[in-house]
């Protein structure tokens, strides 16, 4: 499948902001810099509005519906090796690294948590888990040859259901984020929407208005990492805004830089969490206490070390197998 440049750029830019958001979130939850909470909260409120919705939508844009049951099963086998095996491997790594300094861990997971990863993802690894089950559901529905408008009605109803009723994460995580994935699928089918300025500006205004309402009406308005009713409008509209930007920006050095690392977004997503966890512990241990220096060092260090891992993945086959276990079968 031929790579799409603007998709790689979108992945690269989005994964960079994922790193920024998780670094800021980690510092906010550590309570080390409470005088600067408003800065962290404002940045988190903006960044978390679009990063995960865009990731799901980008996956939806690249999605290809199976034409037969055999093709569906083969596709899900690839997704299992590409998503769930790294999910399990890094669940172990994440818990192991937390043991180095429990006092600086915001949310401590125990080894017994590994027995629950089939339904309770560990930390930021929930994205891989939810994306796998979205592929599972969407592919199955496609095989049933259900009309598009019925699919959207079904998914919309299930989205409302998981907001109203507390259900296992396997269900709530799947159907809570599925609308973002489906917007990506729709934009692929109707790519003229990517050039529609009216859609872009109306979505931008709607997203900003929604964020303003969140700020005044929701106490933890900045905590938008989840897909809940209070944040869903701004999140869904953000996809139209950023897809327009991704697909219409002209190529330059910055564009090429993020496009390059967009191709390795899964590697960066997996390694940035343990890297920023260890780096935060190191920065606190050496006594770095200036908020802005800590933020800069944590973000830059996490990003650059993640890129170094990408370099190792391209050079060392054994490391590459950890991130792409499906290569073992080829």
What local confidence, expressed as pLDDT, does residue 71 receive?
95
What is the pLDDT of the chain when averaged over all its residues? 90
Domain boundaries, the chain: 5-329
Dist CA 109 CA 95 (whole Å): 6
Residues 6+ apart with CB under 8 A from 271: 305, 306, 309
CB contact set of 42 (below 8 Å; sequence gap of 6+): 222
Structural tokens at position 315: 């050079």
Residue 66: burial class (beta carbons within 10 Å; 0-12, 13-18, 19+)? middle
Write down the pTM of the prediction: 0.92
Tell how far CA 267 is from the center of its chain. 12
- pLDDT at residue 307, rounded to an integer: 97
Q: What is the pLDDT of residue 106?
A: 61
What sections of 144-168 are H helices per DSSP? 148-164
Cα–Cα distance between 51 and 55 in angstroms, integer?
Answer: 6
- pLDDT bin (cut points 50, 70, 90) of residue 162 is very high
User: Which residues touch 118 (CB under 8 Å, ≥6 apart)?
Assistant: 170
40-84 pLDDT, tens digit each? 999 999 999 999 999 999 999 999 999 999 999 999 999 999 999
Residue whose token pair is 């109203």: 164
Per-residue confidence band for 103, with pLDDT thresholds at 50, 70 and 90: low
CA 140 to chain centre: 23
The C-alpha atoms of residue 246 and residue 249 are separated, in whole angstroms, by: 6
């Amino acid at each position: 499948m031929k790579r799409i440049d603007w998709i790689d750029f979108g992945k690269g830019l989005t994964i960079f902001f994922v790193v920024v958001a998780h670094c800021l979130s980690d510092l906010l939850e550590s309570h080390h810099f409470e005088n600067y909470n408003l800065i962290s909260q404002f940045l988190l409120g903006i960044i978390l509005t679009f990063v995960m919705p865009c990731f799901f939508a980008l996956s939806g844009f690249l999605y290809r519906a199976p034409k037969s049951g055999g093709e569906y099963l083969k596709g899900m086998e690839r997704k299992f090796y590409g998503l769930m095996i790294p999910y399990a491997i890094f669940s172990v790594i994440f818990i192991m690294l937390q043991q180095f300094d429990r006092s600086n861990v915001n949310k401590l997971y125990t080894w017994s948590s590994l027995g629950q990863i089939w339904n309770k993802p560990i930390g930021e690894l929930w994205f891989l888990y939810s994306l796998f089950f979205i592929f599972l559901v969407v592919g199955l529905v496609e095989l049933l040859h259900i009309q598009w408008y019925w699919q959207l009605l079904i998914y919309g109803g299930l989205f409302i259901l998981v907001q109203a009723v507390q259900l296992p994460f396997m269900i709530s995580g799947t159907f809570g984020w599925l609308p973002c994935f489906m917007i990506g699928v729709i934009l692929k089918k109707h790519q003229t929407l990517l050039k529609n300025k009216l859609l872009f500006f109306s979505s931008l205004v709607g997203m900003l208005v929604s964020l303003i309402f969140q700020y005044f009406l929701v106490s933890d308005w900045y905590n938008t990492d989840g897909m809940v009713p209070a944040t869903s409008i701004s999140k869904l509209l953000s996809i139209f805004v950023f897809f327009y930007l991704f697909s219409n920006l002209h190529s330059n050095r910055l564009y090429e830089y993020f496009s390059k690392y967009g191709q390795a977004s899964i590697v960066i997503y997996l390694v940035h969490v343990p890297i920023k966890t260890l780096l935060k512990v190191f920065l606190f241990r050496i006594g770095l206490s200036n908020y802005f220096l800590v933020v800069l060092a944590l973000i830059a260090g996490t990003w650059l070390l993640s890129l170094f891992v990408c370099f190792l993945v391209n050079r060392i086959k054994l490391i590459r197998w950890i991130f792409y276990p499906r290569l073992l079968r080829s």
